[in-house]
Amino acid sequence: MTTPFVMLVDDEAPFLETMTKRLEKRKLNVKTALNGQSALEALEKNPSIDVIILDVKMPGMDGIETLRKIKAGYPLAEVIMLTAHATVESAIEGMKLGAFDYLMKPCDMDQLMSKVQDATRKKRDHEEKIRVAKVKEALTKYGM
Amino acid sequence: MIKTRRLANPYYRVLMRNIVIIIISVSFIPLILVSSTIYYQFRTSYREKVYAHLRDLVQYHTYNIDSFLGEKLGDIRFLADSFGYDRLSNESFLQGKLAALQKDYGPVFVDLGVVNADGEQIAYAGPFKLDKAHYSDAEWFQQAMQRQYFISDVFLGLRGLPHFIVAVKTNRDGHTWILRSTIDFVAFNTLVESIRLGETGFAIILNKEGKLQTTPISKPSLDTIPAKSIYTEFLENPARSGDKIRIAVKSDSSDDKTIFVASFLKNGDWLLVYQQHFADAFADLNKTFTITTIMMLLGPLCIIIMAITLSKIIVNRIAQIDEEKQLMNAKVVETGKLATVGELAAGVAHEINNPVAIMVEEAGWMGDLLEEEEIQNSKNLAEFRRAIGQIQDQGRRCKEITQKLLSFARKTDGKVQDIEINEVLEELVALSAQRAKYALVKIQTHFQQNLPQLKLSLSELQQVFLNLINNALDAMETRGGSLTIESRLEKDLIVVEVTDTGMGIPEANLNRIFDPFFTTKPVGKGTGLGLSICYGIIDKMGGKIEVRSRAGQGTIFTVHLPVPVEETGASA
């Protein structure tokens, strides 16, 4: 499996900075965004992003809204929600909208890493399936 | 006891006093006004009636006596006119006439006598030996000589017996003589004596000098009346114009009031005085007054008793309502306090969470860097690790605190579901068993079976009882003890008691333990939110949480949970 391409979205710059360092140290390809809008823009530029780690509570476009837009534009990208407090409501809401999982802030790095790995694997599996499907389709098309 | 305590409060005493005063005055004023008006009117008209009656009585008797006297005088005059001096001078004829008179009128006429102008009695008929009696010096004779007719006052006369004389002077043929008759005093007296009313009413007749002309019941013999008495007043002030009958009320030395009704008779020579004790004359009125007075005393007594009882009831009820209101206020304040603190806490938790997250991440980053080679060789590596670990641990503690704050602030959480309280408790006991073992605590359960199902949030309920159990275990941590969890049904409430044998809660802290951030645990051990959250949850469920504790002996937390109405209905 190639290095997971991860995007961190949080309104707290220091948090992003440190997390980036820590994730990069764990051999992840990390991109950051300070708000939902720039996250969408970054996704546009880098459609190959595998996992988006998204803070629920952000000024402007909040996590849930951002999640909705990401899922609309990039259905294959997996999203891990970071919540300040694990309320059942926000968790359920996030899951309904297609989030991969949620974690509570401050989160345990090992836990986060394993979730990122799982999410990446899931995304890659999906991509693989799609690729295979496309190949099959092409083969059928050309009568092979 | 509660009542007396309530009424001991000056505010309620004043309130009660005011109510009593209002009731009493509102009842009394009309009562007194109506009764006194009626009584006054009644007394006035009754008095008028009595006076009118007495007036009539006296008038009637005045006429009666006047006509009696006039009649006797008429008889004598008739004798004198019809028979003339010559025949009447004949004693035997005179005797015959006396006999005839006595036959007609009874023994009213005692005797008859013919007296000449010189006062010598020429002829006499009667029981006394009065022939040739000489009357020229007698007062009656002198008076009689001056007039045509004369009726004397009562006097003892020559015989020493009370009597009076009716005399007719005849002046015919140049011959002046007087026919006189003695009127039986007893017969006359009977006339006056018969004027009797009530127990004390009687009549007397007085002459102008104030001498008694009749024998009053109370005074046995002829006597002059005491000076300055009412009689003299009547006598000295003769009847005013048109006022034939006069009424006066006087009180004597012993303060008894007496009514006097006086009327002149015999052309103003005599005075008929009827007298009666006031109390006797108005006996009926006095009886009415007594009855009224009794009623006036009993009625107010009832009113006073009623006023006091009623106001006691009212004031007690008010006091009770006030007490309830105070409790309500306290509850509202408490709830408000919890809500405010809750919102504040939620805000603080949110704000703190992010910096803490960053701190923990930074520490994590430092931890990551420690793995690099050049630092691996540092002799302080272990210290670095420990410090970073500590930062992370403390960060996590902060997270726990904010989590609790947030769950405390959370308004609605948890799905309501059917709950078997005993199952929930059983699970929690199992969960705490390990901790209890280390704390040397023995957990006992007394569950009443077949308790009705509750409709509550499971997670919230778990939170409450876990909190209570943990607190109990904390209280017994150093010494061990026993933890008893009991469930039972009381009316429409399920009651769960969590009893420990721990150190107990000092009385001063008892009413603060549900306050947010109140804790007795050492710094870092407790947030002071646990019981506050429990309180909020149970309150939201419509239940009640109470605490009883004795320092050194243990603490009992009692949780009352409402059984859903339809549930009780179905099981009933």
Q: Are B165 and B151 spatial neighbours (Cβ–Cβ below 8 Å)? A: yes
Quote the CA–CA distance of B283 and B288 in Å, as a whole number.
Answer: 9
Please name the fold of domain A5-141: Rossmann fold (3.40.50)
Amino acid at the residue B344: L
Q: Percentage of residues in chain B with pLDDT exceeding 70?
A: 85
Paired sense of beta strands A5-9 and A29-33, if any = parallel
Per-residue pLDDT at A51: 93
pLDDT score for B23: 87
CB A9 within 8 A of CB A39: yes
ipTM: 0.75
- Identify the domain boundary among B152, B180, B208: B180
Is residue B453 classed exposed, middle or buried when 0-12, 13-18 and 19+ CB atoms within 10 A define those classes?
A: middle
Q: Give the mean pLDDT of B537-556.
A: 86
Q: What is the mean pLDDT of residues A94-114?
A: 84
A88/B364 Cβ within 8 A: no
Specify if B12 maps to a domain. no
Tell me the pLDDT tens digit for each residue of B44-56: 898 888 888 888 8
Looking at the fold, whether B491 and B427 belong to one and the same domain comes out as yes
Number of domains composing chain B: 3
Q: Is the peptide bond before A59 cis (omega within 30 degrees of 0)?
A: no
How many angstroms away from the CA of B363 is the closest CA of chain A? Answer: 9
- Domain shared by B217 and B85, yes or no: no
Query: B274 lies in a domain?
Result: yes
pLDDT band at A31, cuts 50/70/90?
very high
Q: Where a domain ends, among B157, B180, B203?
A: B180
Residue A85 in contact with residue A66, Cβ under 8 Å?
no
Domain extent listing, chain A: 5-141
Å from A131 to nearest chain B CA?
37
Are B51 and B116 part of one and the same domain?
yes
Q: How far apart are CA B192 and CA B272, in angstroms?
A: 9
Mutate to test the interface with A, among B352, B368, B369, B402 (most CBs of A within 10 A): B368
Residues B439, B529 share a domain:
yes
Two tokens, residue B141: 């004779």
Residue B126, sorted as left (phi over 0), alpha (psi -120 to 50) or beta, turns out to be left
Q: SS3 for B83?
A: helix
Flag if B357 and A25 touch (Cβ within 8 Å).
no
The arithmetic mean of pLDDT across residues B404-410, rounded, is: 64
- Cα–Cα nearest to B415, from B377, B456, B470: B456
Q: Is residue B95 part of a domain?
A: yes
- Domain extent, residue B176, equals 27-180
Q: Are residues B421 and B447 in the same domain?
A: yes
Q: Is residue B312 in a domain? A: no
Average pLDDT over residues B315-340: 79
Using pLDDT thresholds of 50, 70 and 90, give the confidence band for residue B27: confident
pLDDT number for residue B1: 42
Residue B401 distance to chain A (closest CA, Å): 11
CATH code of residue B448: 3.30.565.10
Say if residues B522 and B539 touch (Cβ distance below 8 Å).
no
Query: In angstroms, rounded to a whole number, what is the distance separating the alpha carbons of residues B82 and B301?
Result: 79
Measured between alpha carbons, how far is residue B410 from residues A89, A113, B456, B535 in Å?
11, 30, 16, 13
The pLDDT tens digits of the residues spanning B257-299 come to: 778 888 887 777 788 888 888 878 788 888 888 888 888 888 8
DSSP string covering A71-132: HHH-TTSEEEEEESS--HHHHHHHHHTT-SEEEESSPPHHHHHHHHHHHHHHHHHHHHHHHH
Residue where a domain stops, chosen among B283, B318, B348: B283
What's the CATH code of the domain at B139?
3.30.450.20
Q: For chain B, how are helix, strand and coil distributed in percent, rounded to 5?
A: 55, 20, 25
State pTM to two decimals: 0.46
User: How far apart, in whole angstroms, are the C-alpha atoms of residue A111 and residue A119?
Assistant: 12
Distance CA B475, CA B501 (A): 8
Between chain A and chain B, how many beta carbons pairs sit less than 8 Å apart? 58
Do B154 and B176 fall into the same domain? yes
Phi/psi for B258 (5° steps) reads: -130, 140
Å between B340 CA and nearest CA of chain A: 20
Same domain membership, residue B155 and residue B239:
no
Residues B198 and B156 in one domain: no
CB B166 within 8 A of CB B72: yes
Give the Cα separation of B26 and B18 in Å (integer): 12
Rounded Cα distance, A22 and A116, in Å: 13
Considering chain B, what is the average pLDDT of its residues? 79
Kindly state the tokens that stand for B457. 């949030």
With the C-alpha atoms ordered B349, B354, B355, B360, is the resulting torsion angle positive or negative? positive
Q: DSSP labels for B452-519?
A: PPEEEEHHHHHHHHHHHHHHHHHHTTTT-EEEEEEEEEETTEEEEEEEE-SS---HHHHTTTTSTT--
B286 alpha carbon, distance to own chain's centre: 26
**B111 and B128 in contact (C-beta within 8 Å)?**
yes
- pLDDT, tens digit, 9 for 90 and up, residues B479-512: 888 899 999 998 888 999 999 988 888 887 887 8
Residues near A112 by beta carbon (within 8 Å), at least 6 away in sequence: A53, A80, A103
Q: What percent of chain B has pLDDT over 90?
A: 4
pLDDT tier for residue B423 given thresholds of 50, 70 and 90 = confident
Kindly state whether residues B172 and B45 are assigned to the same domain: yes
B335-357 confidence digits (pLDDT tens): 666 666 666 777 777 778 888 88
Same domain for B102 and B222, yes or no, is: no
**Rounded Cα–Cα distance for residues B4 and B316 (Å):** 9
Q: Which residues of B touch A87 (CB under 8 A)?
A: 406, 410, 413
Q: Are B113 and B121 in contact (CB under 8 A)?
A: yes
Confidence of residue B565 (pLDDT cuts 50, 70, 90): confident
**Of B75-89, B365-379, B387-401, B408-422, where does mean pLDDT reach its minimum?**
B408-422
> Both B233 and B153 in a single domain?
no
DSSP state of B106: -
pLDDT of residue B70: 85
The residue of chain A nearest to residue B359, with distances taken between CA atoms, is: A15
- Interface contact flag, B399 A104, Cβ < 8 Å: yes
Q: Is residue B359 part of a domain?
A: no
Name the token pair of B242. 């048109």
Closest chain B residue by Cα to residue A106: B357
One DSSP character per residue, B190-214 reads: HHHHT--BTTTBEEEEE-TTSBBSS
Burial of B386 per CB tally in 10 Å (0-12, 13-18, 19+): exposed
Pair (B171, B270) in one structural domain = no
Mean pLDDT of the region B81-86: 82
- Best probe of the B interface among A22, A88, A111, by most B CBs < 10 A, is A22
At position B239, the amino acid (one-letter code) is A
Confidence of residue B241 (pLDDT cuts 50, 70, 90): very low
Question: Mean per-residue pLDDT for A89-104?
Answer: 80
What per-residue confidence (pLDDT) applies to B498?
Answer: 92
Whether the Cβ atoms of residue B537 and residue B463 lie closer than 8 Å to each other: yes
pLDDT in tens, B123-154: 888 877 766 778 878 777 888 888 888 888 87
